[in-house]
Amino acid sequence: MTNPKLLAVGLTLFGATVIDAAPLNRPCGPNSVPLLNLIIPQGAAGADFRPACRHHDACYAKCSGKSKQQCDCEFLHGMLKACECSRNPKRCRRRAKIMYRAVDRFGDAAYGY
């Protein structure tokens, strides 16, 4: 028979680990909503967008000295560069452009923090 208290503690610790690790292992997505990072793609067709996402997060920081537009353009460029090694470059570029449009439209609140 399972001890409900032990199960609750285990699930709580597991959940905290997943949430705390999300920005490091799955950097693509808003850091303010870690669970959302679990459903946002981290790449496409073998291309890894995580380095571009990490760079984008650093660029959005207050001390980067770059405009939001510069950061977003570098983000797109980084993802498109990763698509060069993709199994399906066309699909990869399409996903990169969707992710770029998302930060372009919805990234204002995250810029400068």
Q: Which of 75, 78, 74, 72 is nearest to 105 (CA)?
A: 72
Burial class (CB in 10 A: 0-12, 13-18, 19+), 72: buried
Q: What is the pLDDT of residues 26-39, one digit of tens each?
A: 889 887 777 887 88
Place of tokens 């470059």: 89
Q: Which of 76, 63, 79, 78 is nearest to 107 (CA)?
A: 76
Can you give the pLDDT at residue 62? 78
Q: What is the pLDDT of residues 70-94, one digit of tens each?
A: 999 999 999 999 999 999 999 999 9
What is the pLDDT of the chain when averaged over all its residues?
A: 80
Q: What's the chain's Rg over C-alpha atoms?
A: 17
Mean pLDDT of the region 41-46 = 94
Higher confidence at residue 22 or residue 110?
Answer: 110
Confidence of residue 13 (pLDDT cuts 50, 70, 90): very low
Higher confidence at residue 66 or residue 63?
Answer: 66
